[in-house]
Amino acid sequence: MTSDLLPAVTSDLLPAVTSDLLPAGLYVCSRCLHPLFSSRSKFPHSSPWPAFRDTLREDSVTKMMETLTAFKVLCGKCGSGLGHQFLNDGPENGTSRHSIHFIPNKGTGTQFSLRP
């Protein structure tokens, strides 16, 4: 995360929006509007953060390994911190879960937003 970004908001600081409450559409980085996820990739999960199966494009995000089963997920264009990818925690056996921080309509603190 670059120094000009706000720190990542965690679930103990603000209530998260559950995946089933997010509107349908294309989700983009709120900092640079780079395409990230489609709502068609969302799935229900016990995590308080929205869960997505796949990124929209191969270059939508960059990843940095944190553990053997988790990657930190950053915007593929501007490097804004978005959340994590957890291997083998997706809706189908052998798929991954992208757990993405989302605080709607909070200005520059938003990690990603719906493209109008």
* pLDDT greater than 80 at residue 116: no
In a domain, 84, yes or no: yes
In a domain, 42, yes or no: yes
Q: Which two tokens stand for residue 53?
A: 């199966």
In a domain, 17, yes or no: no
In a domain, 108, yes or no: yes
In a domain, 20, yes or no: no
- Per-residue pLDDT tens over the stretch 55-96: 999 999 999 999 999 999 999 999 999 999 999 999 999 999
Q: What are phi and psi of 35, to 5 degrees?
A: -65, 130
pTM beyond 0.75: no
pLDDT of residue 20: 53
Distance, in Å, from the CA atom of 71 to the CA atom of 87, rounded to the nearest integer, reads 8
Domain total in the chain: 1
- DSSP string covering 16-67, please? PPPGGGSPSSEEEETTT--EEEEGGGEE--SSSS-EESS-SSTTSEEEEEEE
Instruction: Give the domain CATH number at 43.
Output: 2.170.150.20
In a domain, 63, yes or no: yes
In a domain, 16, yes or no: no
Q: Which of 108 and 40 is assigned the larger pLDDT?
A: 40
Name the residue range of residue 100's domain: 26-115
In a domain, 1, yes or no: no
- Per-residue pLDDT tens over the stretch 1-58: 333 333 333 334 334 444 456 667 888 887 888 899 988 898 888 887 889 999 999 9
